[in-house]
Structure 1
């Protein structure tokens, strides 16, 4: 392979750390820095941290690179601060999605400071490194994105809003899929993962996405499944409810699920049956068959029993007897 082909080869990398347990990161922060520079250093500069942060560095994190995009999930047990004057020119678009705690971001010449609280996101262009700090026990996801594809859409704006908006649900679902699968993706898969991250970030900036773009179907399906999982016991859960929450038509949602070989309704039923099966094997406090049927929104015990037997080959009662307490 010649030098140009090697330079153009899609690059990816994964780094997981846990300095909250003894031996989680050999040689502490220095060991983490070496791992970072080996996998990400040629495209993503490690933030300059304060001496106090490095000295009491208690962090769990997962870092994934897909070409010129990086996705980071981090939980800071200890307080995290940048150096007073981090400095350094950059040209990136960054997204901050805070799940717990708060992340404070500096601005140019001490102006434009922003605090991203739990449940919110911020998307903005970064021209240089600025100071930041996170309160203890802050959990967040960060995306570092190339400015070339996003600045024409974002411009000089900062876009902020709730982390559970329809566009953010899709972006978060896709970022989580990238975390889980990037190590096994070939060049075509890396290209698709990268392109979809960019397109979904554009959707966040525009507050709308192209719901007929087939490349977004996996992200839409994953977001719908995540949303369904959080409402499995809700009698209002339906394809219409999921489509409404994700700001797409029912037809678009069904078309996305068709690529998985399972309908939206079938997925909901299968997940409810799976949760009922797990409840039948609980070591204590097992519910009755009628209670399980009602809790997981089956019309009655007969419907539940028939669906369970079709799925698992045994009636719920027989399945419970076959599982030791």
Structure 2
């Protein structure tokens, strides 16, 4: 099946919840998205985890799995905040061209409050709004410098939902310390 993910977990930890029967559900549920974000994060960093980090990741994985089975997770649990932040990033990255992309839209999609989403990003170097803005600028810079594409600055700004070209140019200069033309020369 396309888009199917199968997770196998230690039976002892989850047996009371599943009664030995397989469980299925939509991969788009908030609990599933957060669980998948956590597993992807662990997969990318497993070789760098200390024994304590591996144990904490395992415990968070089990708790997130319980949340998936019960179709609810404790959004105030500090151990889940990295997974929640990653799930929000994944959703935002998939919707960068969406004019409706906002912290409140992503919070609603994950069934958490905007404040909970903000708390998840509090330990990171940027807010969720800043993450969206940075990613949109990265995508715009890539589109402006891609060979074969001849986007104007105003087209690139509009595609990434900046209010006008001058606002976009200022944001691009702040992030890349270059105008769009300088950036294109630098990256080509």
Equivalent residue for 1:152, pick from 16, 19, 22: 16
CA distance in 2, matches of 1:268, 1:232: 7
CA distance in 2, matches of 1:167, 1:291: 37
CA distance in 1, matches of 2:150, 2:78: 43
Residues paired across the two proteins, number: 188
1:35-114 maps to which residues of 2 (within 5 A)?
102=1
1:175-324 maps to which residues of 2 (within 5 A)?
175-324=39-188
Which structure: greater strand fraction? 1
Bigger-Rg structure (1/2): 1
Offset, 1:205: 0.6
- Over residues 292-324 of structure 1, what are the superposed CA-to-partner deviations in whole Å (9 max), with x where a residue is unaligned? 000001011011011100001011122123343
What do you get for the CA RMSD once the two structures are aligned?
Answer: 1.4
Normalised by the length of structure 2, the TM-score is 0.95
- Over residues 27-74 of structure 1, what are the superposed CA-to-partner deviations in whole Å (9 max), with x where a residue is unaligned? xxxxxxxxxxxxxxxxxxxxxxxxxxxxxxxxxxxxxxxxxxxxxxxx
CA distance in 2, matches of 1:323, 1:247: 40
Which structure: greater helix fraction? 2
* Structure 2: gaps (5+ residues): none
CA distance in 2, matches of 1:264, 1:224: 8
CA distance in 2, matches of 1:181, 1:285: 35
1:142 match: 6
Query: Which structure's relative contact order is higher, taking Cα pairs within 8 Å and 6+ residues apart?
Result: 2
CA distance in 1, matches of 2:89, 2:11: 31
CA distance in 2, matches of 1:153, 1:161: 15
Offset, 1:185: 0.7
